[in-house]
Structure 1
Amino acid sequence: MSEVPLPDCLEGQVVAFRADASLEIGSGHVMRCLTLADALYEQGAQCHFLCREHPGHLCELIEGRGYKVHRLLPRKETETGVDADFSPESEPAHAHWLGASWAQDATACLPILTELAPSWLVVDHYALDHRWETAVLERLSGPRPPLLVIDDLADRHHIADLLLDQNLGRQAADYRGLVPEACQVLAGPGYALLRPEFREWREASLSRRADKPRLQRLLINLGGVDKDNVTGQVLDALTACDLPDALQISVVMGATAPWLEDIKAQAANLPWSTEVVVNVDDMARRMAEADLAIGAAGSTSWERCCLGLPTLMVVLAENQQAIAETLDDAGMADNLGMPAQLRSLSTRWLALTRPRRLARMSEAATSIVTGNGTAILCHTMREVTQEACRE
């Protein structure tokens, strides 16, 4: 009897994503999941998202990309009362991001996942750990799907089959004791989830930086939400800096950013040509054509590194501090610190933007991210699927 051929792609398989965006969480978790979903869709997978409708959620954006969103009710509409499984002492540091207890969230997700019967479950959420994963996977009917966890913190247990942590300095050993021994851990920015456009623009971006850097175009992107209006603080700080008269400034924001209209008004009064654009679909081109970026120390750090874009980083949250410090120590970006420290930008500006300094920063950043991380992850997922078929 001939062997049954193993699948070499994810054709027809259902992949379920559990990820949230909000004014507090930001957009990064959903956006990197969308990058993976797009790659899986190209291989024939059907992708579904389970998202809670927090203020600032991105459900419409996900649906606009062609994916089904299963919406979970915000906290005020969920069942109230004390959850017997809730213990503040044992909760993840970001448990409040969930908008419910982990048990309530699992209960809400279970019927959706039961109906979908996914071939893969992908979880990208700082508020969820092995308890949620166990509650969901052990109660699903049929074969248990492999679990992919996307994380940045290495601060809680998971029952993952595959784990991705794309941060600089991260090693698989950091998850020892936090995941099963059989779990494959992909660690480091070489696995960063970047859209194909970044790999496509990489050569052109690096080629134009081979000449002596000149500061003509400044790109500002402090995340899709920027609930604390750090963008406005950056623009204020720039007015005290010695910038070229012909400088062109581009500010990229998300449609749900609460300070969007204020930023547009502020930009209109700047002495430099300044545009404010929303929900762009050509970020790689914009980064490739920029000479310097001022950006958050989050997942977009790897996009900028891939294109060799020199960056002044602003730390918007405690969990970004380690990324900012590591990139700064390696000479791949300059860490401006927390928003309150922007007041000193004018005194540092000329030193930070010296052509030779920008060139060194670009060269160092380019070495750590090639843009192949998404393809590597998809390949690994196929291997895990094939192994499951053999069993």
Structure 2
Amino acid sequence: MGYDDLKALARADASVDIGMGHRIRCQALIHAFQALGWQCQFVVQRRYDAFSSPEDTIVETEPEFWQLAEQVDLVILDHYGYSADDIATLYEHQANLLVLDDMNDRGDFPAKWLLNPLHQTYSKNVKFPLTGSQYALLRPAFLLQNSIPTTPPEKLLITLGGTDPLALTLPILKTLLMSGFPAKYIQVLLGASAKKADRVLSFCKENNIDVEQGLLDVTPLMKQAKMAISAAGGTLFELACLGVPTVFAQTADNQTRSLEQHVPLGWCRSIRFDNVSEEVRHQRIEELVEALNSRWLDLEWQENARKTARNLVDGAGAERVAKTVSAYFS
């Protein structure tokens, strides 16, 4: 069945401080809706237009957004700037509201659908909760790549998100090399807007470290990874899907719940950086590198970690959500 007459708006601002994760996972979701025939549009607040696309609708005020919301069939909201009261106000303008959430820390709010890739419990004001890793929103490339590599991966992938808000990449690289980790096994992946990217690129060149920046498709690099050091946003689910054992650097508070649920499963470790001073941060980088080195040669742990991770996320979350929501309109 086609849904060619149905229209959706997605609200997911992005910036150096907010990061790119909200935007990226909404893009995955929009792609899935468009594949079913929906007409979809991003709405971006003016102060975040540096991270928008030319085809996005830019709004100056929230009432402007509410007016647009009334004219479509569905609104997708992925925005931590929205409190429970803000969500309730938006719901008054558009009851067909799909809210994306991670932390479940805003109190009760109304929504037709609630999407959280973690197992969380929401109030009865949410009509249809979609919770658990089967709803993790990954880009289409991951659905095609979720297979076991034919050759054993040998790289350490270092990826600190689209913006690397705490500029951790360079100090992690320096500490790794000081620990004796071989440069030839390191693959750095920088987001297009990563902090201090020029210094990282220069350091990699001086030390013959492979580096890529702003890749549209990251799956080939992830498939080559024996292990990863990564930020713990949406990348957590991408790495799980491809079975990459990881030491996560927590760079934001909204990554807390996902790490609380995934670390005990045994496929990853985590070190927290977002709530400590600069001095403590340096100590924690050493802890992170030590955690990586202690597992780099532990092939039995890696094999178990890979199996556990792959069983958590199959890459079909966006398609699953789009079909579930679309069925409501049938």
* TM-score, structure 1 as length reference: 0.76
Corresponding residue number in structure 2 for 1:268:
205
Runs of 5+ consecutive residues of structure 1 not aligned to the other structure:
1-7, 74-104, 387-391
CA–CA distance in structure 1, aligned partners of residues 43 and 183 of structure 2: 48
SS at structure 1 position matched to 2:80: coil
Amino acid at match of 1:13: L
Matched, 1:24 2:11: no
| Distance verdict in 2 for CA 1:72–1:277, change over 3 Å | farther
Corresponding residue number in structure 2 for 1:97:
none
Q: CA-to-partner distance for each residue in 1:141-176, whole Å, 9 max, x for gaps?
A: xxx551111101112232211110002xx23xx212
| Distance verdict in 2 for CA 1:133–1:346, change over 3 Å | closer
CA–CA distance in structure 1, aligned partners of residues 226 and 49 of structure 2: 31
Matched, 1:232 2:170: yes
| Distance verdict in 2 for CA 1:347–1:195, change over 3 Å | closer
Corresponding residue number in structure 1 for 2:78:
124
Matched, 1:147 2:97: yes
Amino acid at match of 1:294: I
For residue 132 of structure 1, report the CA deviation from its aligned partner: 2.7
CA–CA distance in structure 1, aligned partners of residues 32 and 294 of structure 2: 41
CA–CA distance in structure 1, aligned partners of residues 325 and 289 of structure 2: 47
Corresponding residue number in structure 2 for 1:304:
239
Corresponding residue number in structure 2 for 1:162:
113
Q: Is the 8 A contact 1:164 1:191 kept in 2?
A: yes
| Distance verdict in 2 for CA 1:345–1:373, change over 3 Å | closer
Matched, 1:291 2:229: no
CA–CA distance in structure 2, aligned partners of residues 55 and 294 of structure 1: 28
CA–CA distance in structure 2, aligned partners of residues 337 and 231 of structure 1: 15
CA–CA distance in structure 2, aligned partners of residues 346 and 191 of structure 1: 31
CA–CA distance in structure 1, aligned partners of residues 289 and 188 of structure 2: 19
Matched, 1:187 2:131: yes
Matched, 1:203 2:124: no
SS at structure 1 position matched to 2:326: helix
Q: Is the 8 A contact 1:106 1:135 kept in 2?
A: no
For residue 39 of structure 1, report the CA deviation from its aligned partner: 1.4
For residue 208 of structure 1, report the CA deviation from its aligned partner: 4.5
Corresponding residue number in structure 2 for 1:93:
none
Q: CA-to-partner distance for each residue in 1:180-239, whole Å, 9 max, x for gaps?
A: 4xx11111111101122112111144x545xxxx6x312111010112211112112211
2:285 aligned to which of 322, 342, 362: 342
Runs of 5+ consecutive residues of structure 2 not aligned to the other structure:
274-280
- Give 1:1-391 correspondences, 5 Å limit: 8-54=1-47, 57-60=50-53, 63=54, 68-73=55-60, 105-114=61-70, 117-139=71-93, 144=94, 146-156=96-106, 157-167=108-118, 170-171=119-120, 174-177=121-124, 179-180=125-126, 183-205=127-149, 208=151, 216-244=154-182, 246-247=184-185, 249-270=186-207, 273-338=208-273, 339-340=281-282, 341-353=284-296, 354-386=298-330
For residue 33 of structure 1, report the CA deviation from its aligned partner: 0.3
Q: CA-to-partner distance for each residue in 1:310-364, whole Å, 9 max, x for gaps?
A: 1111010122133223322110212133244112345444322122222121111
Which deviates the most, 231-240 or 305-314? 231-240
Corresponding residue number in structure 2 for 1:85:
none
CA–CA distance in structure 2, aligned partners of residues 373 and 258 of structure 1: 30
SS at structure 2 position matched to 1:118: coil
| Distance verdict in 2 for CA 1:237–1:45, change over 3 Å | same
Which deviates the most, 158-167 or 127-136? 127-136
CA–CA distance in structure 2, aligned partners of residues 361 and 204 of structure 1: 13
For residue 304 of structure 1, report the CA deviation from its aligned partner: 0.6
CA–CA distance in structure 2, aligned partners of residues 218 and 308 of structure 1: 13
Say what the alpha-carbon RMSD is for the aligned residues.
Answer: 2.2
CA–CA distance in structure 1, aligned partners of residues 263 and 294 of structure 2: 15
SS at structure 2 position matched to 1:323: helix
Q: CA-to-partner distance for each residue in 1:262-319, whole Å, 9 max, x for gaps?
A: 111121222xx32332221221121112211110111110111111011111010122
For residue 56 of structure 1, report the CA deviation from its aligned partner: 8.2
For residue 44 of structure 1, report the CA deviation from its aligned partner: 1.8
Q: CA-to-partner distance for each residue in 1:51-99, whole Å, 9 max, x for gaps?
A: 1244684203xx4xxxx312234xxxxxxxxxxxxxxxxxxxxxxxxxx
Amino acid at match of 1:226: D
Corresponding residue number in structure 2 for 1:89:
none
Amino acid at match of 1:25: I
CA–CA distance in structure 1, aligned partners of residues 247 and 261 of structure 2: 13
Identical counterparts, % of pairs = 27
Q: Is the 8 A contact 1:325 1:335 kept in 2?
A: no
